[in-house]
Amino acid sequence: MERYVEEAAAALDLPVAEQSRATVVAVMRRLAAQAEHLLAFELGAEADLTEPQPE
Amino acid sequence: MNAVEQVRAALGRIAAGDVEINAVTKVLERRALARAEAIDRAVASGATPGPLWGVPFLAKNLYDVEGVVTRAGSKATDGDPPARADAEAIRRLEGAGAVLVGLTNMDEFAYGFLTVNEHDGPARNPHDTARLAGGSSGGSAAAVAAGFVPLALGSDTNGSVRVPAALCGIFGIRPTFGRLSKHGAFPLSYTLDTVGPLARSAAELTVAFEALAAGHVRPAGSIEGLRIARLGGYFEHPLSVEARAALEELCATLGVRERVELPEVQRAREAAFLITAAEAGQIHLARLRRRASDYGDPVRERLIAAALTPSAWYVQALRFQRWFMEAVRAVFERYDVLVAPATPYSAPEIGEAEVEVEGLKLEAGPGLGTFTQPLALARVPEVLVPVRRSGALPVGVQLVGRWGSDELLLALARKLAGEAAYAQ
């Protein structure tokens, strides 16, 4: 996660101060855990973001 | 009292009481008195007074006010150009005769549940000033609870009206997503943000909602014979003794006997966290690049992480939202109103990092959003009914309705307000 934060922040030209880095990584880890649980959920086709096709 | 007298009285209450509460970040005395004088002149000339004639109100400091820099609780907005016009919500309340008298304290950029603001200090709970008012609309809630004004504007993304309303013992509404204009309100999440009023009574909350929805108010319908169920499962725990007692009492008052569960509520909360993070991160990306050091410590790091959210997480959260909205809609085929606790516990002490409830240690801030955040994802309306028991801190209960049933929930809240425990 440290490497992801470093590389993604650099790609976005987003400076992360040294004293902020550990907290940013901790927040990112928490978001990642939430995302992992959410991504594990099998959504049906009805949850597609595409608009329904006309009849 | 005429408008000028009402406004002067409110300004006097703020001057006398806010040193202790810290709810108000800016007083707009000159503007308020000019507005009140104009209203009184118009009424003296035969104009019909609006439903909120002369009622002083406050607005969370993320709302645009013409000629004022919109701070959104941050130093990182210092130097922004002043707003060119009032936010639509302020315009509508003033169109109904109300008078804006000032702006209120909030979590920085509305990203929190505590109103512990590094720049402005914490908003204090009028029921116990050693305790928090909740957030992120904590200044608005505390000001109403302290009696400064009968009405205030907040905003609710994941619970930011309902949480502080519950902790401060006042009424509030998160309206159906999209029903009230957000124009001129500093955003946190385009997908979840709503404009929400807070008031000392259900009647005043209704008048405010109707003013904000002007031209689009729907008939409430009958509140007799409503099919009401209590939300079970996820919403049963953790609850403090006070929060559980309040929920039981309100269910008894309404004669609620059935329980119903919503599916995947924990994932709904996770989706709300991820959507909020992804959108807030992008909203703040340019400002973070320029002036990250002007953000307060807890918010800066959270927003930097938010800006790095991978799109796969965000898109899955949006897809899940569609699924969850459909699941909630299906439950409302069987019921008209659902009842849920607002927060697991009453106001924490200022500086309290953790709260223990039913043997669980919860982070004081995020814990407050346990029951409000997943419901935000469903885009349905919730009205917060405060419950005040003698000698105890206030807690709240959410009345949850199907999409567009805001008026029905407000009517039910007015009925409950006739009961002793809910009357202000």
Under DSSP, is residue B362 helix (H, G, I), strand (E, B) or coil?
strand
Instruction: Give the list of residues 6+ apart from residue B349 with CB closer than 8 angstroms, or none.
Output: B130, B131, B132
Q: What is the pLDDT of residue B49?
A: 87
Instruction: Give the list of residues 6+ apart from residue A41 with CB closer than 8 angstroms, or none.
Output: B264, B267, B320
Catalytic residue among B74, B136, B189, B240: B136
Q: What is the pLDDT of residue B388?
A: 87
Q: Are B184 and B68 in contact (CB under 8 A)?
A: no
Q: Are B204 and B169 in contact (CB under 8 A)?
A: no
Would you call B403 an interface residue with chain A, using a CB distance cutoff of 8 Å?
no
Give the whole-angstrom CA distance, residue B117 versus residue B142. Answer: 14
Hey, which residues does B354 pair with through a beta bridge? B363
- For B154, the enclosing helix (H) or strand (E) is strand B151-156
Name which of A24, A39, A50 to mutate to probe chain B: the one with the most chain B Cβ atoms within 10 A of its Cβ. A24
CA of A2 vs chain B CAs: smallest distance (Å): 11
B160 part of the active site? yes
Under DSSP, is residue B269 helix (H, G, I), strand (E, B) or coil?
helix
Residue A45 exposed, middle or buried by CB count within 10 Å (0-12, 13-18, 19+): exposed
Q: Are B367 and B345 in contact (CB under 8 A)?
A: yes
Name which of A7, A31, A46, A49 to mutate to probe chain B: the one with the most chain B Cβ atoms within 10 A of its Cβ. A31
Q: What is the pLDDT of residue B390?
A: 82
The model's confidence at residue B424, banded by pLDDT at 50, 70 and 90, is: very low
Q: Are B408 and B401 in contact (CB under 8 A)?
A: yes
pLDDT in tens, B235-262: 999 999 999 999 999 999 999 999 999 9
Mean pLDDT of the region B179-201: 97
Q: What is the pLDDT of residue B423?
A: 47
Q: What is the pTM of this model?
A: 0.96
pLDDT in tens, B315-373: 999 999 999 999 999 999 999 999 999 999 999 999 999 999 999 999 999 999 999 99
Mean pLDDT, chain B, rounded, equals 96
- For B163, the enclosing helix (H) or strand (E) is helix B162-168
In chain A the first and final C-alpha atoms are separated, in Å, by: 46
* Nearest residue to B369 (alpha-carbon basis) of B393, B401, B345: B345
pLDDT at B192 over 50: yes
Structure tokens at B86: 């009032």
In chain B the first and final C-alpha atoms are separated, in Å, by: 21
The model's confidence at residue B215, banded by pLDDT at 50, 70 and 90, is: confident
ipTM of the complex: 0.89
Lowest mean pLDDT segment, chosen from A38-52, B135-149, B305-319: A38-52
The letter for the amino acid at B98 is A
